[in-house]
Amino acid sequence: MKKVLIDVIFASEKRKNVLLLLKDGPKETKNVLELLETTRQSLLPQIKVLEEHHLLSHKNDVCELTKIGKLLVEDMMPLLDTVDVLDTDIEYWGTRKLDFIPTHLLERIDELDECSLIDPDITNVYNAHQAYHETCAISKSIFAVTTFLYPDFHEMYSRLIHDNIKSTIIMSPDLYNKLETDRYSGFKDLMDSNLMHFYLYSGKIDFMSFGYNDYQFVMSPLTNTGDFDNKHLLFSSPQAREWGKELFEHYLKDSTPITEI
């Protein structure tokens, strides 16, 4: 009796890997064996199952996806990529508020690729984003949406200005009000630079912050209960940065420039 197709694809790691291996084109059986580091005796029964379900053809010792096989592999990739992203730490992802991500980007979360979960200890609270800040220092421009600023924000952004790095920052209404009352002079100094561009978001910002530069994308969601901690996600692939850019543009369209304070 034939297996349910979902079981054919995912119930066997070997079958799944064979399908993924053939997505770029036909391969000789010996090459498949080498790439999967397995034996002919172990692999051939799995190839036979794929043949019986019309996902693969195996002729003249060459393996090739069928039309149906190609269709399914194309649909498999986003799912497997999404699983890879969430597998970074499913406990973290599962306990975070993700409502701030628009639907069209949440559906493309597979584009974030694998990421690093950064969990700094208490002695590094004010250096929580150190790895990201190091790449900011060698970027041409940085972009961020935030509800907070580090105590040394004036010094940090002054260094960026000194190094001719352009910064575009969208802030929450609460943060703007705090700067207006607590840090007027320092904030005004930064505004006077043509390398600093501040925007005020018109609505509620239901996350801590996110940002991207020429090298990385960083994201700090709140917990499901609305609490915050210093854990954050760091992504380094080009497509993850492009995803982060689209998220930034989503918030920019509902923001207005801050020209005075």
State whether 240 and 145 are in the same domain. Answer: yes
For residue 239, tell me if it sits in a domain.
yes
For residue 200, tell me if it sits in a domain.
yes
State whether 141 and 17 are in the same domain. Answer: no
- Higher pLDDT, residue 9 or 201: 201
pTM here?
0.82
Q: What is the mean pLDDT of residues 148-173?
A: 91
pLDDT number for residue 126: 58
pLDDT number for residue 187: 78
State whether 98 and 152 are in the same domain. Answer: yes
pLDDT number for residue 247: 98
Is residue 148 within 8 Å of 176, Cβ to Cβ? no
Domain around 112: 92-257
State whether 58 and 113 are in the same domain. Answer: no
pLDDT number for residue 45: 92
CATH of the domain at 54: 1.10.10.10
Segment 185-220, tens digit of pLDDT = 677 788 889 999 999 999 999 999 999 999 999 999
State yes or no: pLDDT of 233 exceeds 80. Answer: yes
State both tokens at 166: 């352009």
State whether 69 and 170 are in the same domain. Answer: no
CA nearest to 244, candidates 164, 169, 172, 145: 145
State whether 141 and 16 are in the same domain. Answer: no
pLDDT number for residue 2: 58
CA nearest to 172, candidates 84, 113, 100, 106: 100
pLDDT band at 166 (very low <50, low <70, confident <90, very high): very high
Domain C-terminal end among 18, 53, 78: 78
For residue 83, tell me if it sits in a domain.
no
pLDDT number for residue 124: 60
State whether 224 and 118 are in the same domain. Answer: yes
State yes or no: pLDDT of 128 exceeds 60. Answer: no
For residue 87, tell me if it sits in a domain.
no
pLDDT number for residue 1: 47
State whether 69 and 165 are in the same domain. Answer: no
d(CA 101, CA 116): 19
State whether 251 and 134 are in the same domain. Answer: yes
- Segments in the chain forming alpha helices (H): 5-10, 13-21, 29-36, 40-52, 67-86, 90-94, 103-106, 130-136, 153-162, 173-182, 184-191, 238-252
d(CA 251, CA 246): 9
Which position has the token pair 């499901």? 224
For residue 11, tell me if it sits in a domain.
yes
State whether 126 and 168 are in the same domain. Answer: yes
For residue 86, tell me if it sits in a domain.
no
For residue 199, tell me if it sits in a domain.
yes
Round the average pLDDT of the chain to a whole number and report it: 90
- Return the percentage of the chain with pLDDT > 90, whole number: 63
pLDDT number for residue 119: 85
CATH of the domain at 126: 3.30.870.10
Phi then psi for residue 244, to 5 deg, are -65, -35
- Return the percentage of the chain with pLDDT > 70, whole number: 94
State yes or no: pLDDT of 99 exceeds 60. Answer: yes
Question: What's the total number of domains in the chain?
Answer: 2
State both tokens at 189: 């100094």
Domain C-terminal end among 19, 48, 78: 78
Ramachandran category for residue 163: left, alpha or beta (phi over 0 → left; psi -120 to 50 → alpha): alpha
Domain C-terminal end among 49, 78, 107: 78
State whether 146 and 25 are in the same domain. Answer: no
State whether 158 and 252 are in the same domain. Answer: yes
For residue 209, tell me if it sits in a domain.
yes
